[in-house]
């Protein structure tokens, strides 16, 4: 049975920058969890960032907090750990949090810390895709279900 890497926050774990989770209620996610198919992971925490932490956004290839701190290294470390975890567990699919500077699949924030979203990929998402892992956001669960059924 295919394993799926999933953002910890999507299961309600309090790992987001604001110290909260972002649990999504979807019956398929519950089923995958019961089937022990999920590898639950937060690249930002794995990269050494605390919870809570200052919000960060990608600007010109770097990840910078709203306080001006460059946290690119921690984000890149978390992305590398995610990739190694996927390789170790033969994971070919990931379900990650949209708009996150780590996990955004279609959108990220514009880097100006004003709440504006733009097209783009988070660092972890970009690295996983580059290495052949299909990444879906929580808004694309039906597409992930379809791919897993093939």
Give the SS3 label for residue 100.
coil
Q: With 90 as the cut, is the pLDDT of residue 108 above it? A: yes
Tell me how many degrees the CA angle 79-20-81 measures, rounded to the nearest 5: 15
pLDDT the model gives residue 42: 99
In the structure encoding, which two tokens stand for residue 33, read together?
A: 């969890």
d(CA 84, CA 95) in angstroms, rounded, equals: 16
pLDDT the model gives residue 63: 99
User: CA 100 → CA 89, 143, 145, distances in Å?
Assistant: 24, 20, 22
List the one residue out of 65, 72, 53 whose CA is nearest residue 124. Answer: 72
How many domains is the chain partitioned into structurally? 1
Q: With 90 as the cut, is the pLDDT of residue 150 above it? A: no
pLDDT tens digits, 116-134:
999 999 999 999 999 999 9
d(CA 108, CA 116) in angstroms, rounded, equals: 9
d(CA 100, CA 78) in angstroms, rounded, equals: 13
Q: With 90 as the cut, is the pLDDT of residue 114 above it? A: yes
Separation of CA 20 from chain center: 15
pLDDT tens digits, 25-82:
999 999 999 999 999 999 999 999 999 999 999 999 999 999 999 999 999 999 999 9
pLDDT the model gives residue 62: 98
pLDDT tens digits, 13-26:
999 999 999 999 99
pLDDT range class, residue 136, cuts 50, 70, 90: very high
In the structure encoding, which two tokens stand for residue 75, read together?
A: 């984000």
pLDDT the model gives residue 38: 98
The predicted model gives 101-111 an average pLDDT of: 98
Residue 10 lies in domain: 4-149
- Helix and strand counts by DSSP (H, E) for the chain: 5, 8
pLDDT the model gives residue 116: 98
């Amino acid at each position: 049975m295919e394993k799926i890497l999933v953002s910890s926050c999507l299961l309600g774990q309090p790992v987001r920058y604001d110290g909260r989770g972002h649990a999504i209620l979807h019956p398929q996610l519950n089923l995958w969890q019961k089937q022990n198919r999920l590898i639950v992971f937060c690249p930002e925490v794995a990269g050494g960032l605390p919870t809570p932490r200052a919000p960060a956004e990608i600007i010109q290839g770097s990840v910078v907090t709203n306080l001006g701190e460059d946290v690119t290294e921690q984000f890149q470390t978390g992305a590398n750990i995610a990739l190694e975890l996927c390789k170790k567990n033969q994971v070919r699919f990931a379900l990650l949090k949209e708009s996150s500077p780590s996990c955004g699949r279609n959108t990220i924030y514009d880097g100006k810390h004003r709440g504006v979203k733009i097209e783009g990929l988070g660092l972890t998402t970009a690295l996983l895709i580059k290495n052949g892992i299909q990444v879906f956001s929580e808004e694309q669960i039906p597409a992930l279900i379809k791919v897993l059924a093939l």
